[in-house]
Chain A
C-alpha cells in the first residue's frame, strides 16, 4: 500500500493542517490565560510571550478555517455550514464552538490589552474605550468561558475523527484526549517561539513557567499515545490490525518512532529537563525546542489521519 495514496483515503493532509491549527490556537489561548493569571497579572500586555500567543491564536484559527473552507468541494457554499446546524454532527458543533471561541478570544484580548488600546483609541474613537471598559467588568466570566471553549476546541479536533464507525483506529475514545494534550503543547511551543522572536527574554519567568508545565504535559502525551495503541491492540480484530499497521514497518512507522516519539516528544522533553536543571536558556535552545514540538505535532496529526484511514472495520 502506498503511504500517501490508497483507496480508503478520504481526508487528505489539509484536514491534518486544519486540526493542527485549531489545536495551536486553543493551546496558545490556554497558555496566554495561564501566563496572565499565574505570573504576569496586570502587566501581561507587556510580555512578548502573551502578545505572541494572542497573535498566534487569532491567526491560526482563521487560517485553519480558511483551509477547511478551501478543502470543501463547494467552497462558495461554506456559509451553509453556518446557517444549517445538525446537533448530531461533530463538525457542525465544532464550527459552533470555533465561532463562540473566537468571540471570547477577541473579548479577552481586548481586556488584556486594554491599556494600549485605550491609549491609542481615546483621542480617536472614544467609543472603543466604552466597550473595553464594559468588557473589563466581565473579565472573570470571559476568562472562564474562554478556557472552557479552548479546551472544547482542542478536544473537538479529536472528536471530529473519532465520531464515525468506519475506521477503528480513529473511532477511539483516547483520541480527543491525545489531540487535546498535543494541541495544548503545540500552543505552548508556538507562544514560546513567537515570544522569543518578539524579543521576549529566553530566560524570562514566562519561559520558565511554560517549561515547567510542558514537562508533565509531554509525559502525559506519551502516556496517552501508549494507552491509545494499547487499547487498540487489546480490542483485537481490525483495531489491532490498524494499530500494528500504523506503528509497524514502513513510512508511517518511521514517522511515528523517529519523528513523533523521537524528535517531537523525547527531544523536547530532554531539552526541557536540561534547561530546568541548568537554568541555561538561550534563544537557540528555546526556539529549537519549540520548533521540534511543533514539528512533532504536525507529524502526529498527519500520522493519525493517514494511518487511521488505512484499515476499515
Chain B
C-alpha cells in the first residue's frame, strides 16, 4: 500500500512536470521549421535620418484602420533639440509593434487571440477571441499594445493586415510618408528594396537581448547626446 502510493505520487509528479515542459520545448522547435515552409516574411525599416516628425504616418494609420481617438497603433517619439542654433535638430523614432518572431504577447495570451500569421510572420489579434485580460499588454517589452475602447479587445499595429494589405497596397503609414522614411517589404525576397537597404546600411533593432527577434529595423540618426 505504502509502496504503491509512493509510486503513484512519483509518476504523477513526473507526468505533471512533463506536461508543463513539453509545450514550451515544442514551441522552440517549431519556430524554425515554420520559416522554411513559405517565403513571405514581412518587416519594416524606419530610416530615422530621413524622418522629419510630421506624423503623417500616425494620421494615415488612424484613418485607414479606424483607430479611435485617445489610442494609437504607432507614434513618433521626439527627443532633442540637439546642437546649437541655427543647426539644431531633433531625433525621431518610431514606436509600434515590432512583430517579434518569438512574441511574448503570443506566448502569454490565454485564448490564442494574440497570434502569429504563419503565412507572413505578422503578429496580429483576433478581437473575437480576446477576453481583455491584458496579459499581452503586460508582457510586451515594447509597450505598444492597448485596449481598443470600441472593441474592448487588445489592439496594435498589424502592418495593415486587415486593410491595405488585402487590397495589395502598402501599409498606410508607408504610403503616407512624404520623405520615404518608411520601407515595408518581404525579408525572403532578396530583390526587394527592404532587403537591399538592410544589407547596405547599419541597422538596429531594440531589446535584442530579450530574445524576441523583432522585425522593425531602424537606421539611426546621429546621436546628438551622450548617454552612459
Contact = CB atoms under 8 A, between A and B. Distances in A.
B51 interface: no
Interface stretch (B82-90, B124-132, B167-175): B124-132
Contact of A73 (B107, B110, B152): B152
A148 B12 contact: yes
Interface of A: 8, 10-11, 68, 71-74, 77-78, 80-81, 83-93, 95, 140-141, 144-145, 148, 152, 163-167, 309, 312-313
Given A77-B132, A91-B133, A140-B5, A164 B139 contact: yes
Contact of A91 (B110, B129, B147, B207): B110
Tell me the dominant secondary structure on chain A's binding face. loop
B20 A93 contact: yes
A88 B110 CA distance: 8
Contact of B211 (A83, A86, A165, A167): A165
14 contacts: A11-B138, A73-B132, A73-B134, A73-B152, A74-B153, A77-B132, A80-B129, A88-B107, A89-B109, A92-B110, A92-B111, A95-B110, A148-B9, A164-B108
Contact of A72 (B12, B133, B140): B133
B131 A77 contact: yes
A90 B104 CA distance: 12
Contacts of A72: 131-133
Q: Which 4 A-B pairs have the closest CB atoms?
A: A73-B132, A87-B23, A164-B139, A92-B110
A140 B107 CA distance: 36
Contact of B135 (A89, A93, A145, A152): A89
Given A11-B134, A166-B138, 7 more contacts: A10-B134, A71-B133, A86-B112, A90-B108, A148-B13, A164-B104, A165-B210
A74 B131 contact: yes
B22 to A, nearest CB: 8
A283 B136 CA distance: 46
Interface of B: 5, 8-9, 12-13, 16, 20, 22-24, 27, 104, 106-113, 129-135, 137-141, 143, 147, 152-153, 207, 210-212
B139 A152 contact: no
A90 B139 CA distance: 12
A262 to B, nearest CB: 30
Nearest to A149: B16
Contact of B27 (A10, A74, A88): A88
Contacts of B5: 140, 144
A165 B108 CA distance: 11
Contact of B110 (A10, A86, A309): A86
Given A89-B107, A164-B138, A166-B140, A84 B129 contact: yes
Contacts of A8: 143
A86 B132 contact: no
Contacts of B110: 81, 84-86, 89, 91-92, 95
B147 to A, nearest CB: 5
A239 B23 CA distance: 28
Nearest to A160: B135
A165 B104 contact: yes
Nearest to A91: B110
Contacts of B138: 10-11, 164, 166-167, 309
Contacts of B24: 88
A312 B104 CA distance: 14
Contacts of B104: 164-166
B72 to A, nearest CB: 15
Q: Choose among A81, A90, A164, A309 the residue with the greatest number of B CB atoms under 10 Å from its CB.
A: A164
A313 B207 contact: yes
Contacts of A87: 22-23
Given A144-B5, A165-B104, A313 B134 contact: no
Contacts of B210: 165, 313
A78 B132 CA distance: 9
B12 A163 contact: no
Nearest to A9: B138
A163 B20 CA distance: 13
B147 A144 contact: no
A167 B133 CA distance: 18
Most buried by A among B110, B112, B140: B110
Nearest to A170: B138
Contacts of B106: 88
Nearest to A8: B143
Contacts of A163: 107-108, 139
A287 to B, nearest CB: 35
A313 B106 CA distance: 19
A74 B137 contact: no
Contacts of B22: 87
Output the residue of A72, A78, A81, A89 with the most chain B CB within 10 A: A89
A148 B147 CA distance: 36
A144 B11 CA distance: 11
